[in-house]
Chain A
Amino acid sequence: DIQMTQSPSSVSASVGDRVTITCRASQGISSWLAWYQQKPGKAPKLLIYAASSLQSGVPSRFSGSGSGTDFTLTISSLQPEDFATYYCQQANSFPLFGPGTKVDIK
């Protein structure tokens, strides 16, 4: 079975900072990787699919990269509305989320 890990589990950052989150799959998943943002009390929101494609309406400060087993989500300049928890999800087989990375205010 594929396992997903994320690092770090949490990160404290300031508005304007560049933030990078890593997701790793236990076996190769090509580019079948998505990223979601979840704010407290809300459903997750799809940000990026196919590892690097931006979902419609998502600000361009969000970007994704990677293939195979290692992937990254980058927020180029953190905005106040970006403080949230971010999950990766593999879509190569039965969908599976990573454990999440909480981005909070420094």
Chain B
Amino acid sequence: QVQLQESGPGLVKPSQTLSLTCTVSGGSISSGGYYWSWIRQHPGKGLEWIGYIYYSGSTYYNPSLKSRVTISVDTSKNQFSLKLSSVTAADTAVYYCASLGPELLADYWGQGTLVTVSS
């Protein structure tokens, strides 16, 4: 069974870059067949897809965040990462990583990590 675990700072200052890593176990990112995605949830709100990446490096970003988002993959470490630049308080959220099957279904999720943007 695939397991995902987010890691990274829980507090980021405004205007800085939020950086998170998702470590995948129980399966290989480079085996193909899955996309690897980031999703966030503002406190008490709904779910927002940030973007996703294939092991080859092909990326797909939410148009509303595209100018600030970079998702990358490190197959040697079986990890993928999120960078969100120029953050504001509006980026405070729980960030989830998830595996995305070929039919764009998020079937395995990390537990989520709360990132607070504050000075």
Residues of A participating in the B interface, judged by any CB pair closer than 8 Å: 1, 32, 34, 36, 38, 42-46, 49-50, 55, 87, 89, 91, 94-100
Report whether B103 and A49 are in contact in the complex, using a CB–CB cutoff of 8 Å: yes
Contacts between the two chains (Cβ within 8 Å), count: 51
Report whether B62 and A91 are in contact in the complex, using a CB–CB cutoff of 8 Å: no
**Which residues of the other chain, A, contact B52 by a CB distance below 8 angstroms?**
95
Chain A to chain B contacts (Cβ below 8 Å), 7 pairs: A32-B103, A44-B106, A49-B105, A91-B105, A94-B63, A97-B49, A100-B47
Q: Give the Cβ gap from A80 to chain B, nearest Cβ, in Å.
A: 23
Question: Chain A binding site: helix, strand, loop or mixed by DSSP?
Answer: loop
Partner of B47, one of A50, A55, A87: A87
Report whether A97 and B96 are in contact in the complex, using a CB–CB cutoff of 8 Å: no
**Which residues of the other chain, B, contact A42 by a CB distance below 8 angstroms?**
111
Q: A43-B111, A44-B109 are in contact. Are A95 and B100 (CB under 8 A)?
A: yes
